[in-house]
Structure 1
Amino acid sequence: MVLHYKCPHCGSDMIYDADTGKLACPSCRTRLDIEEMDVPREPAGEATETVTWHCNNCGADLMALPETAATTCSFCGAGVVIAERVTGDQSPHYVIPFTVSKEEAIKAFKKWCRNGLLTPKGFMTADRIKSITGIYVPFWLYDLNSRARVNATATKVRTYTSGDYLYTETSYYDVYRELDLHYVKVPVDASVKMDDRFMDRLEPYQYSGLKEFKPPYLAGYLAEKYQFTDAELLDRAKNKIRSYIESAIGSSLSGYTTVTRMSEDIETRNVKSHYVLLPVWLVVYDYDNFEHNFVMNGQTGKVVGKPPLSYGKIAAWFGGIAAGVFLAMKFLSLAMGGGFL
């Protein structure tokens, strides 16, 4: 089943409006509060196969990939939601709706391009945006509990003088630490298509913006359902908190002159995981006959990507540093009684 959201007043296709947070009609400007809409949640089985869906707006029959949860009709542009992919077992628990509109995203991207000190001048104008697409990317949010047990030997060194002698006193300790650590809402993207490094760098999202999922939030945007289960991505979630665990262990062992860890046992379990959809703008920028891909956090406007570099600017930058170091050394030599050669 395909969900279309028609305006109750003029019959036009409605889309989610990031500016107002409501379902909006572009024709008569009717606004509907999604939180007050009665959206049925029908039970659904696994939807893993490519499906054909019928556009109720223009009558076209189109194909949808197994991971597609929301899309637009290629013929009339109507935004549709494939109900089987967002109901029952396939239903996300929460969604962070877009708060950065398409116009705001373009403006923010252009500003970001202008800040590239080592990018080519032509790139900095940001006037070659080929496409910008809003997509809800599937994530798992993990609540994790880690128990760490550490055995170590430590020393405290004290130096003091007595008469004409300098003494060094070293005390030795057997140290045991047991930590109970809790981490909430650790995000891991569950999409095959999205670059994991880019998704990680888009963080943080502001989870105060999480809303209970309702299909109308997807209207007018693309969306994917998860391609990895929470069990399959648990190891990646554990790796994301590893540095925080190490930092907590290190803090618990502070106060000693030296610490040597003899044994360490860390056990991390998944307390709870939530399937959520997070907003991302995909930006394709055409520069120098090559497409550069960027992603933007659809809630905060943060941009991530690898812009092209200007080798002329890089050479000038390093040349400026070298010249500055050379002059500094000359002035230092002069101050110490030397002179310019």
Structure 2
Amino acid sequence: MEEQAIAKDAIRFPCASCGGPMLFDADTQQLKCAYCGRLQDIEADVSEPAEHELEGDEGGASTDWGLEQIAVRCGSCGGESLIPAQQTATICPFCGSPKVLPHAQEQLIRPESLVPFRIDREDAAASFRAWKKKRWFLPNAFKKENTAVQLSGIYIPYWTYDADTASSYSARRGDYHYRTVTRTRVVDGKTETYSDTERYTVWRSVSGQYDRFFNDVLVPASGHYDAQLLDRLGNFRLDGLLGYKPDYLSGYIAERYSVGRTQGWERARRRIDAMLEDDIRSEIGGDEISGLSIGTQVSNRTYKHLLLPVWNAAYAYRGKPFRFMVNGQTGLVSGEAPRSPWKIGFFTLACLAVAAAIAWFVMQQQG
């Protein structure tokens, strides 16, 4: 397939036996010759990735990717990737468009670590087939057919952030209490008295301090993907990070980051604030909380830049395009798929029928 040939040309490491391209093999975690099958070890760097001060400059961050490349930008979707300097033609790995043109090279921060691919192309395709069989509302014809997809192995850029937080909070906590009250009602024209249980809320003011350290808040540095698809794909295990080596990129494509580290921190801060609010609400407890006010000081902010493996794919069903991704480390699938209006309609009718049956039963019991 064309995309496979392009992927093999992405970065070349010549084989010592036949001169063919050595590509990174997800199964063996070695370089493997595409022609003779010779394997070559990669000396993995398992040292702890360095953390960089967010407030500092980029003077200590490397921009050398260890290989001669040019940057290209897709004229359709705007995606930017790196290809070998000698390669003159390609297709966009993000949307499949042939409108790919050379783009001015910028000295961007090179990732210091990455998670290598552990799911190969065949396993990624198998994960997609298993995923679509489990979707309830997909058309049966789509589930059964062998969907033609264009799979591209891409290293997606990410930022991770660490930070210490110290939060002061105040709120009103409401706790439910219950009491027995006497009420009256008219039954068959007669007034009768009965006992009922009434709920009331006791409110009290609360305040406190909540400290938490956030480690590796993961934020995509790609601006060319559906954010929801990437979020649903985010079960990466960062304990599998290795020091960056160009060998791992051989046979794959690396995307350049389009979300800067400062912009990435703004997204991470929103996630941190949301997690802090959940934590503090749990800390306060009670049945209701009102007037919650949180003031947070953040210190010791650090970041890392890394690459994570993703199989990106586009396919068409009855002329309409869809996309899906496969986590290149775990095999988790996140994607779009066609829906069957018949199945959705039948499901809706079934839900309405069940609701009507329950309402009828309740009315019978009360009558």
TM beyond 0.5: yes
User: After superposition, what is the alpha-carbon deviation per residue over 1:142-194, rounded to whole angstroms, capped at 9, x for unaligned?
Assistant: 11222211133557788899xxxxxx9x9986533111111111111112222
Distance 2:89 2:239 in 1: 37
- The root-mean-square deviation of aligned C-alpha atoms, in Å, is 3.7
Q: Aligned residue for 2:189?
A: none
Task: Decide which moves more: 319-328 or 293-302.
Answer: 319-328
Q: Aligned residue for 1:128?
A: 147
Distance 1:332 1:174 in 2: 41
Distance 1:20 1:266 in 2: 46
Task: Decide which moves more: 92-101 or 125-134.
Answer: 125-134
1:222-261 equivalence runs, <5 A: 222-254=253-285, 259-261=289-291
TM norm structure 2: 0.72
User: After superposition, what is the alpha-carbon deviation per residue over 1:98-141, rounded to whole angstroms, capped at 9, x for unaligned?
Assistant: 11110000111011111121111222125122311110010001
Q: Aligned residue for 1:194?
A: 225
Match of 1:287 among 317, 324, 330: 317
How many percent of aligned residue pairs carry the same amino acid? 28
Q: Aligned residue for 1:103?
A: 122
Equivalent pair of 1:150/1:261 in contact (CA under 8 Å):
no
Letter in 2 for 1:198: L
Q: Does 1:69 align with 2:82?
A: yes
TM norm structure 1: 0.77
Which runs of 5 or more structure 2 residues have no equivalent in the other structure? 1-9, 46-60, 74-78, 92-104, 181-198
Q: Aligned residue for 1:272?
A: 302
TM-aligned CA deviation for residue 196 of structure 1: 1.9
Task: Decide which moves more: 112-121 or 223-232.
Answer: 223-232
Match of 1:306 among 301, 318, 336: 336
Equivalent pair of 1:146/1:182 in contact (CA under 8 Å):
yes
Distance 2:11 2:351 in 1: 60
Equivalent pair of 1:238/1:268 in contact (CA under 8 Å):
no
Equivalent pair of 2:156/2:254 in contact (CA under 8 Å):
yes
Distance 2:13 2:218 in 1: 30
Match of 1:181 among 204, 208, 212: 212
Distance 1:157 1:318 in 2: 36
Q: Aligned residue for 1:221?
A: 252
TM-aligned CA deviation for residue 319 of structure 1: 2.2
Q: Does 1:15 align with 2:23?
A: yes
Q: Aligned residue for 2:168?
A: 149
Q: Aligned residue for 1:25?
A: 33
**SS state at 2:119 partner:** coil
Letter in 2 for 1:206: R
Task: Decide which moves more: 171-180 or 304-313.
Answer: 171-180
TM-aligned CA deviation for residue 244 of structure 1: 1.5
Which runs of 5 or more structure 1 residues have no equivalent in the other structure? 38-42, 54-61, 78-84, 162-167
Distance 1:96 1:160 in 2: 59
Distance 1:101 1:135 in 2: 12
Distance 1:111 1:239, change over 3 A: same
Letter in 2 for 1:273: Y
Equivalent pair of 1:70/1:218 in contact (CA under 8 Å):
no
1:70-89 equivalence runs, <5 A: 70=83, 73=87
Q: Aligned residue for 1:210?
A: 241
Distance 1:288 1:92, change over 3 A: same
Equivalent pair of 2:310/2:325 in contact (CA under 8 Å):
yes
Distance 1:158 1:191 in 2: 50
Letter in 1 for 2:42: I
Letter in 1 for 2:342: G
Distance 2:157 2:239 in 1: 18
Distance 1:337 1:248 in 2: 43
Equivalent pair of 2:44/2:242 in contact (CA under 8 Å):
no
**SS state at 1:149 partner:** strand
Distance 1:211 1:187 in 2: 16
Distance 1:257 1:293 in 2: 42
Equivalent pair of 1:110/1:125 in contact (CA under 8 Å):
no
Q: Aligned residue for 1:93?
A: 112
Distance 1:125 1:262, change over 3 A: closer
